[in-house]
Structure 1
Amino acid sequence: MSEALVASQAAGTGTPVPAVSGARQFWRRLRAQRAALVAAAVVALLVLVALAAPLLTALEGQDPTTYHPSLIDSARGGVPVGSLGGISGDHWLGLEPQTGRDLFARLVYGARVSLGVALAATLVQVLIAVVVGIAAALGNGWVDQLLSRATDVIVAMPLMIMSLALLAIVPSSFPRPVLVALVIGLIAWGSPAKIVRAQTLTLKQLDYVSAARLSGWGTWRIARRELLPGLAAPVITYSALLVPQNITIEAALSFLGVGVKPPTPSWGQMLTAADVWYQAAPQYLLLPAGALFVTVLALTVLGDGVRTALDPRAASRLRVGTGRKREARAAADAGAPAKADVAAPAQADAGASANKEAKA
């Protein structure tokens, strides 16, 4: 979005001031939500950990696939030797039971797989949804009916059952993280496609779209130049909410044994065997489960904050009833006296009048 300068008169002066851009308004509304800022910081930290996984494991001196059988107590059924699951200076979060693989290395590399699969699946969903939704809204009657019925079929299709079936028949030689992302993206695009179609039908009725049509623009030029900018806000909002959903789906598929396969680390795949060891080595269950919980919670809160920041009506509702301090600040910014300052002289005049009447 361009930073167009709109000549407007400043309060009490004749100086033109630039209009606030949509991006600046978005960041201002997002900064007003502390929960969303905390969630954004958590998400940024998780992404940084995922990207820096090779560096972090190199600092520890471990990798996610090396076995350490000497550090496993076979007499106790494969429990790591030492206290707290084998935590030491060489193994910061302990060891995986039975195999002895480093738990910290598998956790940070699992973040790469879980976040990467979720983001790739979301990208596939959004691309298909935008194309299908715009085509259905701009096409003639039979195109709209055909695409709408196909979208209804996709929405009604049980995601987990279809994913299990597709992942079970694909050869194991195909890269599993890529396959999981494609399966989720190709099956779960129905709901965003409905949202894009409904929003496109609304935008079609606006004056600037009608003007573009009357000027002789083609359908796809109108879609590219006029409709896609208007679809950006709802698409970004829904995409932010799809990422935590896709992380949960990937974890569930890996937990069921049809997702990411060993030795590739994944939080869901780590949870597959963790239920057997939750008493002997509880950190093996708590660490991936806690990472999943924090990630999904942070992404959900951030997605809700993005939705509120992009929705002017929601932002205006947030400003209702915010207290006397914000009203005083707004009045000071506008150059008008606050309510308390206006009320104080009036109360003083009323008190003086009452004293004069009492003396009389």
Structure 2
Amino acid sequence: MSNDTLPAAAPVQPAKHVKERSASLWSDAWYDLRRNPVFLIGSGMVLLFVIIAAFPGLFDTVGVESRTCNLANARKGITSEHWFGTDNLGCDVYSRVMHGARVSIIVGFVSALVTGVVGGALGLLAGYYGRWVDIILSRVAEIFFAIPSILGALLILAVIGRNNAGIATVVLALSILAWPMILRIMRAAVITAKHQDYVMAARALGAGPGRIMLRHILPNAVAPVIVVSTINLGAFIAAEAALSFLGVGIQSPQISWGLMIADSRTRFLEAPLPLLFPALFLSLTILSVVMLGDAVRDALDPKLR
């Protein structure tokens, strides 16, 4: 009997090029964020407020300078010259709202950046080295944790003095009480990451502590810090407005939304516009940051996938 001949194998076709997404956390997060309407709306609003803060003159189209006030025009309603009306001193509210965005946005972003960098660096050291380094940094952080944020900021600004209150002073008062939260978050993430196989392999190959922390642990432990810092951004903007409203934050002749609200509260029933518009912009800014923070948290948290 003759053996059955096997059918000839079909020629192997070259595989078509298929673009695949990287399996890293950051690429997956960016892929999800680009398709998240909450992120797109929130980031678009945040970008708009940042542009207003950076270039307020581009939006000051009514031709009235923010610091040019005329008592004869005090507490006027909406007109073609004053889109948001005027305040108690006859200053154009629209112009002041546009220029007031700069202080509020700068205080929020710089405070979030300072707390993220300081708390993240200390948390990285505490989590990696442990022992006495962890004990000292954790005990110092617990001391600051015992102080309520707003009350502590009030105390710091009261000691420094109202006349010295500026952007740098407010940032210092807010940051000095907020970094312990970032430290704890970074510390927990570093403790988890330093026991992973890739860290042990890098240590076995002779990598030093600095290289291990910066090249191997930090990229894999910084995600929760980014999430919390984004959410804290809105809290810092609100805190600056609260401190300015209480009279210990930003002082005239500087302009901030909180200071505008404080100056307009005494004549609110007679002229509500000078209070409503800065409060509206403040609320929209905080809302956009919260939306952005929630979207980033959902994208970077593996448990929510």
> 1:323 is matched with which residue?
none
Task: Please name the residue that 1:303 is paired with.
Answer: 293
Q: Are 1:193 and 2:174 matched, yes or no?
A: no
Equivalent runs, 1:133-152 vs 2, <5 Å: 133-152=123-142
Q: Is the CA contact (8 Å cut-off) linking 1:124 and 1:186 kept in structure 2?
A: no
* Residues 1:91 and 2:82 aligned together: yes
For structure 1, which runs of at least 5 residues remain unmatched after alignment?
1-11, 73-79, 316-360
Would the aligned equivalents of 2:84 and 2:274 in 1 still touch at CA under 8 Å?
no
1:1-360 matches, within 5 Å, as: 14-15=15-16, 17-21=18-22, 22=24, 23-57=26-60, 59-72=61-74, 80=75, 85-97=76-88, 99-171=89-161, 174=164, 176-315=166-305
Code of the aligned partner of 1:20? R
Query: How much has 1:50 moved relative to structure 2?
Result: 1.7
| DSSP-derived class of the 2:86 partner | coil
Asked whether the equivalents of residues 94 and 104 of structure 1 are also in contact (C-alpha less than 8 Å), the reply is: yes
Once residues 135 and 118 of structure 1 are traced to their aligned partners in structure 2, the CA distance between those partners, rounded to angstroms, is 26
Corresponding residue for 1:77?
none
Distance 2:71 2:245 in 1: 25
After superposition, the C-alpha distances for 1:176-216 in whole angstroms (9 at most, x for unaligned) are 01110122112211111100000000000111101111122
The percent of aligned pairs where both chains have the same amino acid is 35
Give, as a single letter, the amino acid of the residue that structure 2 aligns with 1:46. Answer: F
Query: How many Å separate the matches in 2 of 1:123 and 1:113?
Result: 15
Instruction: Report if aligned partners of 1:192, 1:238 keep a CA contact under 8 Å in 2.
Output: yes
Question: C-alpha separation between the residues in 2 aligned to 1:157 and 1:133?
Answer: 19
- Displacement of 1:220 after TM fit? 1.5
For residues 52 and 181 of structure 1, the distance between their equivalents in structure 2, rounded to whole angstroms, comes to: 21
Distance 1:151 1:210 in 2: 29
Q: What residue number does 1:319 align with?
A: none
Query: SS in structure 1 opposite 2:222?
Result: helix
In structure 2, C-alpha distance between the alignment counterparts of 1:121 and 1:156, rounded to whole Å: 20
Does structure 1 conserve the Cα–Cα contact (< 8 Å) formed by 2:124 and 2:218? no
Q: Quote the Cα distance in structure 2 between the aligned partners of 1:227 and 1:190.
A: 20
Distance 2:90 2:266 in 1: 15
Report the count of equivalent residues.
Answer: 291
Q: Measure how far apart 1:51 and its partner are.
A: 1.8
1:113 Cα offset (Å):
0.6
The two structures, once aligned, show a CA RMSD in angstroms of: 1.9
- Partner Cα distance (2:17, 2:58) in 1: 51
Is the 1:30–1:305 Cα contact (8 Å) retained in structure 2? yes
C-alpha distance after superposition, 1:275-295 (max 9, x if no partner): 222211111121111111111
The 8 Å contact of residues 165 and 248 in structure 2, kept in 1 or not, is answered as: no
Mapped partners of 2:92, 2:284: distance in 1: 21
Query: CA 1:13–1:198 in structure 2 vs 1: closer, same or farther (change >3 Å)?
Result: farther
**Partner of 1:325 in structure 2?**
none
Residues 5-34 of structure 1 show CA distances to partners (whole Å, capped at 9, x for unaligned) of xxxxxxx97346454134543232113322
Instruction: Encode CA deviations 1:267-317: one digit per residue, 9 max, x unaligned.
Output: 1111113222221111112111111111111111110001111223313xx
Alignment partner of 1:192: what SS? helix
* AA aligned opposite 2:238: T
Q: Distance in 2 between matches of 1:259 and 1:64?
A: 20
One-letter amino acid of the structure 1 residue matched with residue 304 of structure 2: A
Structure 1 residue identity aligned to 2:87: E
Shift of 1:243: 0.2
What letter is aligned with 2:86?
Answer: L
Letter of the 1:28 partner, please give it: Y
Name the amino acid aligned to 1:36.
F
In structure 1, C-alpha distance between the alignment counterparts of 2:127 and 2:262, rounded to whole Å: 43
Q: How does the TM-score come out when normalised to structure 1?
A: 0.76
